[in-house]
Amino acid sequence: MAKLGDIAKVLRSKNSGPFEITLDCLFDNRESYERLKRSNAITRETIARLYQIRVDQVHQLVFYDQALGFKVTIAREVSSGSAGDRDVYGAQQHAPLMNLDVAMKEEGP
Amino acid sequence: MSQDVNILSPCGMLGYGFPEESFRRGMEQQVHAVVVDAGSTDGGPHKLGAGVSIVSRRACKKDLEIILGACLPGKVPVIIGSAGGSGARPHVEWTLDIIEEILREKQMSAKIAVIWADFTQEAVLDALGQGKIVPMSPNIPQLTEQTIRETASIVGQMGHEPVLKALEAGSEIIVCGRAYDPSPFAAVGIFHGKDPGLSYHLGKILECGALCAEPATTKDCILGTIGDDYFTVRALNDRRACTPISVAAHTFYEKDHPYLLHGPGFLLDLENCRFTEQGPGIVRVSGSRYIPQDKTFIKLEGARLTAYRTFVIAGIRDPILLGKLEDVENAVIAQTKQYYPEIDEQDYRIRFYNYGMNAVLGEREFEPFRGHEVGVLFEVVAKTQELASSICATARSTFLHYGYEGRKSTAGNLAFPFAPSDIEFGPVYEFSIYHLMECRADGFPIEIRQGGVQDGEAG
């Protein structure tokens, strides 16, 4: 098992507009990216658990092969900069995803 | 085959600054326009609500002096997107005032196009009545008449169409109110007959400055070149380079989907784009698809004043208090409320943010607290500034002297870094409108004026 934060080259969060936060995870080699994609570690259910939200609050989860990365977009509980918001730019909400354990070793045939 | 079109983006935000050397290297090419984005909603609703900018006037002027000084003598158009940060009237006027000052200092004159992006409450109410407004995402409430009436400042994101008109009119400086970030860039490619898909995709990359290069930054220049069925991007500083991965990865940035972008009147599909290396540090991109939509929806942004805030920052080092911090904070809230039975509890709210413990993630924090010191920020938001400050002062003194179970440090619970400890923040806003409105693409008024030193004026 490895932490997603240890194997990704970029793992970041940022507002996608004031009502959503988008999480980007990018790799620097195709092998790690493909293994992660095949591991099925990244699902809407996993994201909902890490961020303590409902599955329907995960608005997008898309892999993009050209960029060796995936993107997850989730609903904000409090819109950016409103009273009660903790992170106006949404720039420090990636830590739960970083902490995700993923199985990167694959069983031989 | 038409001539290649070069677009220079100095930086990701007007006023962030850029190395002059990079800019000069870019200007050595035959540049068709210098385009710079000045806007963002990332900093929250306050700028739109209060009519203030995100960068300082000094920084904005410093960048514009370099850009205008280099572009105006050679008739290279300068386009500013989402002027002043939020692109509403006060932000556009703030930008125009800076431009006017520079032109007069340099004894120059320029034809300036101003494209306004403000929408009146009446126009939005009218569209609402006709069923032409939908929320941007499922977690945004449906717009109501009351919300619109409470929202003093409303802008819409223009597409490339009004910018194109301003270019056709021969404008030397184009100051756009709120714009879809890539649109002022895309307008240049489209003006010169280039493919709108390539023009928009390049715009999406250029609007962030050198963020698509490695090492990435918004504070450096990037040059985009549009050919007939491809475009290229390259950094203008030897310290950074674009790679196929860095450019492909940039399409992820700050949007909800990695390869589908909804713009005013179109969908941009980047799923089957090809990113290849054309030369050292130069990336060639092809396959960006512009798919026109039946209806044009523009994004409306509006900010409403919701409350006033007063806050306190204090440090806590006592290990006994740290062991029961959240219980003590809840007790402080309860005691403060008890002290003001005459005030409706709905009129104010007290919140604690325990930095070092869980202030950033709140209930999502998964690490147990292991520290020896916590920075506490507590705020009161209330209907009036006077109420926020009064409640905050009571909460502060209650917290400072609160006698929790097992307390040994009976002289005080908080280390204030400053005197006075209570800071009046002023009004707090929220994005009360973040909706799509069906609208004509040319619904943004263009005003053309001559700026700087006028004919016959003494130098």
Q: What is the pLDDT of residues B136-172, one digit of tens each?
A: 999 999 999 999 999 999 999 999 999 999 999 999 9
Interchain pair A64, B248: CB under 8 A: yes
Closest CA to B46 of A65, A31, A83: A83
Confidence of residue B281 (pLDDT cuts 50, 70, 90): very high
Question: Which residues on B lie below 8 Å from A68 (Cβ)?
Answer: 245, 248-249
Mean pLDDT score, B437-441: 91
Question: Which residues on A lie below 8 Å from B139 (Cβ)?
Answer: 19-20, 57, 75-76
* Predicted pLDDT at A106: 64
Nearest by CB to residue A71, choosing from B252, B273, B363, is B252
Question: Which residues on A lie below 8 Å from B253 (Cβ)?
Answer: 14, 24
The model's pLDDT over B33-61, given as tens digits with 9 standing for 90+, comes to: 999 999 999 999 999 999 999 999 999 99
Question: Which residues on A lie below 8 Å from B138 (Cβ)?
Answer: 56, 59, 75
Q: Taking 90 as the threshold, does the pLDDT of residue B318 lie above it?
A: yes
> What's the Cα-to-Cα distance from B353 to each of A25, A84, A100, B317, rounded to whole Å?
28, 10, 25, 16
Angle subtended at Cα B201 by Cα B197 and Cα B205, rounded to the nearest 5 degrees: 165
Confidence of residue B253 (pLDDT cuts 50, 70, 90): confident
Shortest CA distance from A47: residue in chain B = B364
Residues 6+ apart with CB under 8 A from B9: B34, B35, B36, B37, B185, B206, B207, B209, B221, B222, B223, B224
Tally of CB atoms within 10 A around A15? 26
Give CA–CA dist B263/B267, Å, rounded.
Answer: 6
Question: Which residues on A lie below 8 Å from B434 (Cβ)?
Answer: 17-19, 79
CA distance B413 to chain A (A): 24
Question: Which residues on A lie below 8 Å from B382 (Cβ)?
Answer: none
Shortest CA distance from B271: residue in chain A = A64
Mean pLDDT score, B288-301: 97
Shortest CA distance from B45: residue in chain A = A81
The model's pLDDT over B270-279, given as tens digits with 9 standing for 90+, comes to: 999 999 999 9
Q: Phi, psi (5° rounding) for residue B284? A: -105, 130
Shortest CA distance from B304: residue in chain A = A82
Question: Which residues on B lie below 8 Å from A52 (Cβ)?
Answer: 363-364
* Predicted pLDDT at B288: 97
Mean pLDDT score, A22-50: 96
CA distance A5 to chain B (A): 15
Architecture category of domain B304-430 in CATH: 2-Layer Sandwich (3.30)
* Predicted pLDDT at B252: 81
Give CA–CA dist B305/B233, Å, rounded.
Answer: 42
* Predicted pLDDT at A69: 95
CATH 3.30.70 residue ranges for chain B: 304-430
Angle subtended at Cα B221 by Cα B218 and Cα B227, rounded to the nearest 5 degrees: 120
CA distance B186 to chain A (A): 21
CA distance B245 to chain A (A): 6
**Tokens for B456?**
């016959």
Q: Mean pLDDT, chain B, as a whole number? A: 96
Q: Taking 60 as the threshold, does the pLDDT of residue B209 lie above it?
A: yes
Interchain pair B253, A24: CB under 8 A: yes
Q: Phi, psi (5° rounding) for residue B242? A: -90, 140
Nearest by CB to residue B137, choosing from A20, A68, A88, is A20
* Predicted pLDDT at B437: 97
The model's pLDDT over B86-104, given as tens digits with 9 standing for 90+, comes to: 999 999 999 999 999 999 9
Q: Taking 60 as the threshold, does the pLDDT of residue A91 lie above it?
A: yes
Can you give the residue ranges of every domain in chain A?
Answer: 2-78+88-102
Query: Cα-atom radius of gyration of chain A, to the nearest Å?
Result: 14
The answer for A7, left when phi > 0, alpha when psi is -120 to 50, beta otherwise, is alpha
* Predicted pLDDT at B1: 62
Give CA–CA dist A50/A59, Å, rounded.
Answer: 15
Fold of A2-78+88-102: Alpha-Beta Plaits (3.30.70)
Question: Which residues on B lie below 8 Å from A22 (Cβ)?
Answer: 252, 254-256
* Predicted pLDDT at B456: 65
Percentage of chain B beyond pLDDT 70 is 99
Q: Which residue would you say has higher pLDDT here, B172 or A67?
A: B172
ipTM over 0.85: yes
Mean pLDDT score, B428-455: 94
Question: Which residues on A lie below 8 Å from B349 (Cβ)?
Answer: 83-84
CA distance A105 to chain B (A): 25
Interchain pair A22, B43: CB under 8 A: no
Question: Which residues on B lie below 8 Å from A28 (Cβ)?
Answer: 245
Interchain pair A28, B245: CB under 8 A: yes
Nearest by CB to residue A64, choosing from B258, B359, B364, is B258
The answer for A17, left when phi > 0, alpha when psi is -120 to 50, beta otherwise, is left
Give CA–CA dist B173/B449, Å, rounded.
Answer: 10
The model's pLDDT over B398-419, given as tens digits with 9 standing for 90+, comes to: 999 999 999 999 999 999 999 9
How many beta-carbon contacts under 8 Å exist across A and B?
A: 143
Interfacial A residues in 35-94 facing B (CB < 8 Å): 50-52, 56-57, 59-60, 62, 64, 66-71, 73, 75-76, 79-90, 92-93
Q: Suggest the residue from A66, A85, A94 to mutate for an interface test with chain B (most B CBs closer than 10 A).
A: A66
Q: Taking 60 as the threshold, does the pLDDT of residue B179 lie above it?
A: yes
Shortest CA distance from A89: residue in chain B = B42
Confidence of residue B350 (pLDDT cuts 50, 70, 90): very high
Question: Which residues on B lie below 8 Å from A56 (Cβ)?
Answer: 138
* Predicted pLDDT at B2: 81
Interchain pair A66, B275: CB under 8 A: yes
Shortest CA distance from B352: residue in chain A = A84
**Tokens for B407?**
């307390």
Interchain pair A96, B361: CB under 8 A: yes
Percentage of chain B beyond pLDDT 90 is 95
Question: Which residues on A lie below 8 Å from B307 (Cβ)?
Answer: 83
Nearest by CB to residue A19, choosing from B137, B257, B274, is B137
Residues shown for chain B = 459
Report the predicted TM-score, pTM, of the whole model to 2 decimal places.
0.95
